Chain A
Amino acid sequence: MSLKQVLAALSMGLALAGAQAQPATAPDALIKQVSTEVIDSVKGDKAIQAGDVGKIIELVDTKVMPHVNFQRMTASAVGRHWRAATPEQQKRLQDEFKILIVRTYAGALTQVKDQTVQLKPMRAGADDSEVVVRTEVKGKGDPIQLDYRLEKNGTSWRIYDVNVLGVWLVEQYRSSFAQEIGAGGIDGLIAKLAERNKAAATKT
């Protein structure tokens, strides 16, 4: 994937935004585009580098979240209890989990300095509806493995899991979630997530 192709994909995306017959961006092109946008935004913003969580959350909300199926992410971290939860509980779980994840991401972004993202070769059939895109973040020190699971959503692709250094995010939270649900039910988990988010918010 050359820079030219990325730029082409990017401008095509912009030109066709809003148009109904938007062609599907390849999943790896999407990842490359989003990562490049995020890294460039961080590099050009002193406040984000200094760890301004508010600005980082804004960045993530505008650039990354539109490409994430966060409901699927939350549902699979919660596991079979998701089906037993009321719509209201599901929404609250999703909201609190999102804040938790965005803060994780925010913490990682403050470490961004001279990194670039490189795509690894993708093995996927033309009509696969779920793919894994593997990337490596290169900068000072050892490269960092960063992989994504994406699902086809009509004509576009959406991320539903992220792998950092060999650890899938959804699996990482599954047993903590099960533990909280076991102790206090769905509401217990919601309360725990909210408490964590509150504690972190007052600290920063």
Chain B
Amino acid sequence: MTPADRLRCVAAAGLLAASGATHAQSASDPFEGWNRAVFGFNEDLDEAVLKPVATAYTNVVPELVRTGVSNFFGNFRDGWSAINELLQAKPIAAAQMTMRVATNTLFGIGGVIDVASDLGLERQREDFGQTLGRWGLPAGPYLVWPLLGPSSLRDSVALPLDLSWATGALTNDGVVRIGLTTVELIDVRASLLGASRIIGDIALDKYVFIRDGYLARRRSMVYDGEPPELAEPPEPAEPQDDAPAAAK
């Protein structure tokens, strides 16, 4: 699919959503029309810039170096995870993550080598959005942000803190900060190249697929992988006979 085709699809989908022709409106996504438009923008940007750059990065930079880069950023996020585990009143997990960061920083050359995983100190990712969820704040409506992608109202509230930690604590130098953010972005995107290829093949509607996947995964993360069973979802509204059939 060329970017232009994609744009047309997104536009068509956006129109449908706006005209109310899609019946399966999700209760967790009241801003679907707007979200779809931003999603389409992000997709085009990804196709035009981020994906090619990440692909080139994967082709040019040796795997050993890429792993080191991932570990370095991962180690930094692990510090944030440790703090959030503390905020979630999980002292044992917090101590483990602190040990992990200390081990990797000291013996893994500043976090470039992940020695802690081999010692059984595995990564448990926590962020401030999960911390808010842990204390009972519901996810709220689904939101898609330009550049930043899928989020929920809760995760958006947490986003400034999560973002400021990711790169802000490393340096005050604006140029270095932008540089680091860029490399981290490329690193993350490169790690998703395989997954994004698969999603393109298996999703009936990529927007819905990513939305539902995001919301379910975040819910699972709040409960550390074992969320309580959900009641059966409410039945979608009956299709109306006079509504136009969605374009194929």
Chain A residues within 8 Å of chain B by Cβ, number: 43
Total A-B Cβ pairs within 8 A? 106
Contact of A176 with B203 in the complex, beta carbons under 8 Å: yes
Q: Please, which residue of chain A has its CB at the minimum distance from the CB of B213? A: A167
Min distance, Cβ B20 to any Cβ of chain A, angstroms: 11
Min distance, Cβ A95 to any Cβ of chain B, angstroms: 16
Given contacts A100-B202, A103-B201, A143-B122, contact A168 B245 (CB under 8 A): no
The answer to the question of B8 belonging to the interface, with a C-beta cut-off of 8 Å to chain A, is: no
Min distance, Cβ B35 to any Cβ of chain A, angstroms: 14
Given contacts A166-B216, A172-B212, A172-B216, contact A178 B236 (CB under 8 A): yes
Contact of A182 with B22 in the complex, beta carbons under 8 Å: yes
Contact of A166 with B217 in the complex, beta carbons under 8 Å: yes
Given contacts A79-B235, A176-B209, contact A145 B225 (CB under 8 A): yes
Q: Please, which residue of chain A has its CB at the minimum distance from the CB of B16? A: A183
Contact of A196 with B245 in the complex, beta carbons under 8 Å: no
User: Which of A168, A176, A177, A188 gathers most chain B CB within 10 Å?
Assistant: A176
Contact of B217 with A167 in the complex, beta carbons under 8 Å: yes
| Docked pose: A164 CA to B212 CA in angstroms | 13
Beta-carbon contacts under 8 Å, B162-219 to A: 194, 197-198, 201-205, 208-209, 212-213, 216-217, 219
| Docked pose: A173 CA to B212 CA in angstroms | 8
| Docked pose: A141 CA to B123 CA in angstroms | 9
Q: Please, which residue of chain B has its CB at the minimum distance from the CB of A183? A: B246
Stretch at the interface among A27-35, A38-46, A104-112: A104-112
Contact of B26 with A104 in the complex, beta carbons under 8 Å: no
A-B contact list, 26 entries, CB within 8 Å:
A107-B197, A107-B202, A134-B225, A134-B226, A143-B122, A165-B220, A166-B225, A167-B217, A171-B216, A171-B230, A172-B212, A175-B26, A175-B212, A176-B205, A177-B204, A179-B22, A179-B23, A180-B204, A181-B24, A182-B24, A182-B236, A183-B245, A185-B239, A195-B248, A199-B201, A203-B201
Give the 7 A-B CB pairs with smallest separation, nearest first: A166-B220, A182-B23, A183-B246, A179-B24, A107-B198, A178-B24, A176-B204
Q: Which residues of A contact B (CB under 8 A)?
A: 79-80, 100-101, 103-104, 107-108, 111, 134, 140-143, 145, 165-168, 171-185, 188, 191-193, 195-196, 199-200, 203
